[in-house]
Structure 1
Amino acid sequence: MGFFKSKRFYFAILLSLGTLIFLFQLGGRDLWEPDETRYAVVARDMRENGNWILPHLNGKVYAEKPPLFFWLVNLSVFFFGVDNELTNRLPSALAGLITVLVTSYLGKSFFNAQVGFISGLVLCTCIFFPLLSRWMMLDSILTLFFLLALSYLYRGLEEEENRRKHYLLAGFFIGLGVLTKGPIAYLPIPIVLIFTFLQKKFKSFWCTDLLWGFLLSMGIILIWWIPACFAGGKDYINWILFKQVVGTYIEGGKHFHPKPLSFYFIRFPIEFFPWIVFLPSAFIIGLKTNRMRKEFLFLSIWFIFIFIFFTLSKGKKDNYLLPLYPASAMMVGVLWDSESQLAKKPKGFIIGLILLTLFFFIGMVVFLSGILQTLYPSIVEYRTFGIYLLSYLTIGSFFSLLLFVWKKKWPSFILLIITFTIFHLHLSYAIPPKLNPQRSMKYFSERILKRMKPGDEIKTYWFKSNGLIYYTKKSYIEEIETPDRFKEVFYSPQKVFIVIFRKMFEKLKSEVGVEMEPIDQAKVGHWEYILISNH
């Protein structure tokens, strides 16, 4: 029985379960608008046009993100020899899987091996972290670098003899984080700074060794940033250095996803399901337990700082909070650890499991009543899928509650893990066939390509579609912006296919005075498109 409590067993289970959740059917869903297709087009442009230092999108400099993510995507494409949904998403999914393993290691380092094991299971079965990691997004990679940097800063603080080495490693991962998503990767430093201030260890942290780590991070950044600024010029420097950072945090604006102050207070509890119901108990009891107060204080500062920082930002997206998920998972891991003193107080567990069961049961009743279908007719086609999903979530939560009441806490926890593993596999298997036709430009693009002959061109009128660029395999698609330019293209001898929003079609006909008839149409998301041709 010793093997089943060994570190090797824990690692094997986490690796197997994580691989299943993060990689199952990873390429089974098309790349969806807007982010996935945009990143795929930028990565492909790097390969085809050699823009390795300065990313480009549809013929223009793409200054919104540094290049490391696109380098990793291209490494995946080169390794497998094919550009498809799987190879484009693989770096993000692998980063998510590695983050689970690193979180488990940190949980073991802070507390014990079992806490680490539970923490890894919690992270890879909560709703949002695995789902986002399976998208072609930068945030799971940034979260991995953030986690590694923060862990080495903490180790450097605790281990004086290896402090310089740990701070240099922290600087290395901060540098990689900046090359992934910008200066936000420096957030581990203020987190540890606040912790050292409260622990009265400020001098141990703020030392020459930390300066060396900071200089290493800057050196890594400058290796890319200097040639990028030479290539991009003054406008690129202004955007990447000021507009992208200040715009997101202070200015807000349409491009930077403005949301109200309450945004994360609503979204995070939903996205950290089912484990959110145990997080308050973990917070309260953890900080009261003397033998682990220091470690819990560190996790609490980590969580609170990230949450407040992005809550105060005018620009908000769900994925911005991803770096606090490992801290949340470790706190819940301590609460569920059977060796912990926290396990002797079952009230928080029972309340959490009751809330979880009631939530899914009420959801199933509402779904069966038809209220949601009346309010949102578009979900009628998902009725069977929704009932099936809510049924096994309700049953799994209910029996987990019963097992806990019968003092079988470990089987209760394992049942929750199994239930939400099924949930993730179910989504990965069932969602792509249902949503691909509605969310993907692939089908419309393929129909357009069937109409085109060698030498024909495709353009858009008054909108950009990265999905159209990616799935038609074009390196550039002109966006026509004026009626005069439209007439010039329409009356050219070259055969041209033009994609336009349906709502603009009649208006365009009256503006240019040209008789046009749609030859194809499609609806992707909320947008309806029409295809026309000049010949």
Structure 2
Amino acid sequence: MSQTFDSAFGWRFSQRQEFWLLFGIALLVLGAGLGLRDPWPADEPRFALVAKQMIESGNWLIPHRGSELYPDKPPLFMAMQAFFYTLTGSWRIAFLLPSLLASLGMFALVYDLGRRLWDHRVGLYAAVALLCTFQFVYQAKRAQIDPSVCFFLTLANYGLLRHFLLGPHWRAYWLGCFAAGLGVITKGVGVLALLMFVPYLFARWQGWSDVSRPAERGDALRWLLGLFAFVVATALWLGPMLYAVHADGGPEYRAYMNDILFRQTAERYTESWHHHQPFWYYAEVIGSAWLPLALTLPWAVPRWRQALRQRDARVLLLLGWIVLIILFFTFPKGKRDVYIMPALPLLALLVGSQLQFVTAQPWFRRVVLAFVSLLGVVFLLAGALAWSGHLSAANRLLEQRGLEAGGAQLWLFVLSVGLVACVSALWLRVRRSVLAMLLTLAAIWLGFGFWAYPVLNDSTSAVQVMRKTGEMIGKDAELGLVAWKEQNLLHADRPAKDFGFLKPWPQQLAQAQQWQAQQPAQRWLFVLRDAFGACVDADKAQYVGHANRREWYLLRADAFRRGCDPATAKGEDGDSNAE
């Protein structure tokens, strides 16, 4: 890598300077667009709303979504968002900071582990390989839980691998176990980091020489302290949560406890109720979401096989854990691409150990050039056809998203990325095709953050429709939400009344009607068009706007038909708030 910098720029860098230069590039790519958009569905507004209500209520222990408890995820991620809001005073920054910092943390851990297990150059190559992977960068730019739980799993692996391969290093081992516990209270899967014991114990059983073999007196206690560190980390939230549920004693809190401890963990794994995918689904994820890293596999896999024959425990432990993670998530019917994302940093580390060899292969460079050329042609054609109005799918997208005004800017971004890719491929050709790929990826992610974010934000985030709602009802009116989504409550310009989130729409509408009837001149209802049912006179509803592929209306009290009860009336409209 140092030779690359020297030959490209004529400058000489120390190893530390090379890392910080690369870290700065990672910060630019991953942080591009920070502060330029609001939370986007499906998950981001939910977590941001929970974090906002933590601050407003002072209850950071058991999260709420509106008036209901939110039992789907532990509160650590949302608490981090709330914490960063108290530091920055801006939700546009705070809601994305946990993902950004977690991704930068994974980037640094992969470099440092590569440096320790191999050398400085491998560490840099591994970090670059991770930064170039589509799923890693995309998730770093999303305010979802997965980057944070991946960071804790990567930190756990970092500590365990330093102990297993470079040890004994008991403090690293305890850190790894503690990080695994933090992963549990982030999303429940942190315990999977401890699967690293499987290939480690196999290597010890087979007598592989390059694994650590602690044998001092008192080592049994040190091993058990790892279990203690894991339990302490999980107890940081579980202990206070169980106490709060016991102290309250109400059925709502007991249902919350049972849901988050059992239904969202064991039952979700064994009896998946959504995201059903075929057995081979993760092969598709690796071949698409893990591009362009996946392009190296035909050359890297034979090298790993050779290393295993030579009893290289570094490859055994890293590759063994990756395989175990993929197998673990393959057996349930419910599968999502982000489930196997924790394996990505270790795969980047393995690829980094062979990247100098792989990039020297002429056929690999040809494959990379073909990949860049394909991206360029696809982006160029799609952008040109969409910009000229000759792509029906693009026209439907603009209509569904309410983006007619910003469509030209969006397609110009797509067109520009295609132009960068095509020019890079023609200019740099086979010999420097890797550089062409880096330029193309930079154009995608920098353009996405600085260019596409502002264009997409208003319609995607529901900011515009909630701003218009406030203008239509006036600053002194009260607002009630029916069949609402999290972004509606999050972006409301005043405290809003909700009537449940998971509750069926007819029941929400019936309670909202009663609430509005108490002060009909002062209270308005913000209602999804599909939830009107038979009791709402659509001709008296006031149209607000289109957002998130939904039509939203405002209702005054006179919009309800006399003597009609929304909870019992039969109509053509839906009665579920499901997506």
| TM-score tier after normalising by the smaller chain length | 0.7 to 0.9
> Is structure 2 residue 60 aligned with structure 1 residue 46?
no
Retained in 1: the 8 A contact 2:499–2:511? no
Q: 2:412 aligns with which of 384, 393, 407?
A: 384
Give 1:358 shift: 4.7
Q: Distance in 1 between matches of 2:529 and 2:421?
A: 41
**Alpha-carbon distance in 2 for matches of 1:172, 1:51:** 25
1:46-65 paired onto structure 2 within 5 Å: 46-65=54-73
The one of 482, 502, 521 aligned to 2:544: 521
Assess, with a 3 A threshold, how the Cα gap between structure 1 residues 438 and 475 changes in structure 2: closer, same or farther.
closer
What residue in structure 2 maps to residue 66 of structure 1? 74
CA deviation digits over 1:90-128, x for unaligned, max 9?
121111112111111111122211111121122123222
Which residue is 1:272 aligned to?
A: 290
8 A contact 2:180–2:194 mirrored in 1: no
2:479 counterpart residue number: 458
- Whether the 8 Å contact between 1:281 and 1:348 is mirrored in structure 2 is no
Give the superposition deviation at 1:513: 6.2
Distance apart, 1:37 and its partner CA: 0.8
Q: Separation in 2 of the partners of 1:300 and 1:161?
A: 21
Contact 1:287 1:293 in 2 (8 A): no
Whichever residue aligns with residue 276 of structure 1, its letter is A
Tell me the equivalent position of 1:128.
135
User: What amino acid does structure 2 have at the position aligned with 1:214?
Assistant: L
Letter aligned with residue 437 of structure 1: D
Q: Which residue of 2 aligns with 1:468?
A: 488
In 2, the alpha carbon distance for the partners of 1:32 and 1:107 equals 35
Query: Are residue 188 (structure 1) and residue 209 (structure 2) matched?
Result: no
SS in 2 for 1:499: strand
One-letter amino acid of the counterpart of residue 162, structure 2: R
Distance 1:392 1:121, change over 3 A: same
**Aligned residue number for residue 374 of structure 2:** 359
Query: Residue in 2 aligned with 1:407?
Result: none
Q: CA deviation at 1:424?
A: 0.8
Is residue 294 from structure 1 mapped to residue 302 from structure 2 by the alignment? no
8 Å CA contact 1:14, 1:101 repeated in 2: no
Amino acid at match of 1:352: V
- Aligned match of 1:154: 161
Match of 1:252 in 2: 272
Alignment partner of 1:10 is 2:28: no
Aligned equivalents of 2:186, 2:477: Cα separation in 1: 37
Counterpart amino acid of 1:502? R
Residue identity matched to 1:395: V
- 2:402 corresponds to 1:402: no
1:336 maps to which residue?
355
Distance 1:83 1:5 in 2: 37
2: distance between equivalents of 1:398 and 1:353? 13
- Equivalence for 2:241: 228
Counterpart of 2:96 in 1: which secondary structure?
Answer: helix
- Residue 103 of structure 1 aligns with which residue? 110
* Alignment TM-score, normalising by the size of structure 2: 0.81
1:444 to partner: Cα distance = 0.8
Contact 1:279–1:331 (CA<8 Å) still a contact in 2?
A: no
Match of 1:503 among 519, 525, 530: 530
Q: 1:378 to 1:400 in 2, by over 3 A?
A: farther
- The change in CA–CA distance for 1:343 and 1:46 in structure 2 (over 3 A counts) is closer
Q: CA deviation at 1:485?
A: 3.2
Using the alignment, how far apart are the partners of 1:261 and 1:464 within structure 2? 35
Q: Does 1:488 align with 2:514?
A: yes
1:175 aligns with 2:181: yes
Matches of 1:90 and 1:212, distance apart in 2: 32
User: Structure 2 vs 1, CA of residues 355 and 362 (structure 1 numbering), >3 Å: closer, same or farther?
Assistant: same
Q: 1:379 to 1:335 in 2, by over 3 A?
A: farther
Label 1:313 to 1:125 Cα distance change in 2 as closer, same or farther (>3 A): same
* Shift, 1:225, TM fit: 1.0
Conserved? CA contact 1:520–1:532, under 8 Å: no
Deviation at 1:44, TM superposition (A): 1.3
Deviations 1:266-298 (A, max 9, x none): 233222222221133212223224678432233
Offset from partner CA, 1:5-55 (integer Å, 9 cap, x none):
532122111221011112222111221122111111111111111112211
Give matches, 1:298-447, under 5 Å: 298-337=317-356, 346-364=361-379, 367=382, 370=385, 373-375=391-393, 377-378=395-396, 381=407, 382-397=410-425, 399-404=427-432, 412-447=433-468
Secondary structure in structure 2 of the residue aligned to 1:413: helix
Superposed displacement of residue 376, structure 1: 5.1
3-state SS of paired residue (1:272) = coil
Structure 2 gap segments, 5+ residues each: 246-252, 399-406, 559-579
How many pairs does the alignment contain? 514
Query: Where does structure 1 differ by over 6 angstroms across 4 or more consecutive aligned residues?
Result: none
The CA deviation at 1:195 is 4.1
**3-state SS of 1:40 partner:** helix
Shift of 1:403: 1.9
Question: Partners of 1:457 and 1:132 in 2: how far apart?
Answer: 37
User: Secondary structure of the residue that 1:137 maps to in structure 2?
Assistant: coil
**Helix, strand or coil: the match of 2:540?**
coil
Corresponding residue number in structure 1 for 2:563: none
Q: Give the Cα separation in 2 of the matches to 1:398 and 1:327.
A: 33
Structure 1 residues 231 and 400, CA gap change in structure 2 (3 angstroms):
farther
Aligned to 1:409: none
Could you say if the C-alpha distance between residues 201 and 470 of structure 1 is closer, same or farther in structure 2, counting changes exceeding 3 Å?
farther
Tell me if 1:79 matches 2:83. Answer: no
- Cα offset, 1:151, TM superposition: 1.5
Cα deviation code 1:489-534 (max 9, x no counterpart): 45332422222222343xx2xx226575232332223322222233
**CA RMSD, aligned part only?**
2.9
Aligned equivalents of 1:229, 1:354: Cα separation in 2: 56
Q: Which moved more, 1:269-278 or 1:514-523?
A: 514-523
Q: Is the contact made by 2:516 and 2:524 (CA closer than 8 Å) also made in structure 1?
A: no
- 1:45-82: per-residue Cα shift (whole Å, max 9, x none)? 111111122112212222222222122212211112x1
Identity %: 21
Q: Secondary structure at the match of 2:62?
A: coil
Q: Which runs of 5+ in 1 are unaligned?
A: 405-411
Contact (CA 8 Å) 2:481, 2:496: kept in 1 or not? no
What residue number does 1:112 align with? 119
Q: Secondary structure at the match of 2:555?
A: strand
Instruction: Return closer, same or farther for 1:369/1:137 CA change in 2, 3 Å cut-off.
Output: closer
Match of 1:200 in 2: 205
Whole-angstrom distance in 1 between the partners of 2:321 and 2:102: 20
Farther off after superposition, 28-37 or 196-205:
196-205
